[in-house]
C-alpha cells in the first residue's frame, strides 16, 4: 500500500518575521546569501517559499549588491 506524503505549504520568511523584512537591503549580504545558490543564481520562489512581493524586492536587492561588488555575479573556480 502506497503512502501519500503531504507537502506543507512554505511560509514566506519575510511575512513571518517583520524584523527580517526590515533587514532586506543590499547592504546586508549575509541575508541575501541565503537566497543565492552556490553557483550565484537567485533561488526561485517555489524552492525558497518567498512571496511574490518579497521575491521581486529580493531580486532587486541582490542585483544592487552585485553591482557594487558585495555579492558575486557567479561562482568562479574549478
pTM, entire model: 0.84
- What band does 78 get if pLDDT is binned at 50, 70 and 90? low
Which sequence spans correspond to the domains of the chain? 13-67
* Fold classified for 13-67: 30s Ribosomal Protein S18 (4.10.640)
Gap between the Cα atoms of 68 and 55, Å rounded: 20
Query: What pLDDT is attached to residue 66?
Result: 96
Question: pLDDT tens digit string along 18-54?
Answer: 999 999 999 999 999 999 999 999 999 999 999 999 9
How many CB atoms within 10 Å of residue 14? 22
Amino acid at each position: 500500500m502506497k503512502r501519500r506524503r503531504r507537502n506543507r505549504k512554505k511560509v514566506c520568511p519575510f511575512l513571518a518575521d517583520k524584523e527580517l523584512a526590515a533587514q532586506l537591503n543590499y547592504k546586508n549580504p549575509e541575508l541575501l546569501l541565503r537566497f543565492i545558490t552556490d553557483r550565484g543564481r537567485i533561488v526561485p520562489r517555489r524552492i525558497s517559499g518567498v512571496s511574490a512581493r518579497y521575491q521581486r524586492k529580493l531580486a532587486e536587492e541582490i542585483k544592487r549588491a552585485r553591482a557594487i561588488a558585495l555579492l558575486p555575479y557567479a561562482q568562479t573556480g574549478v
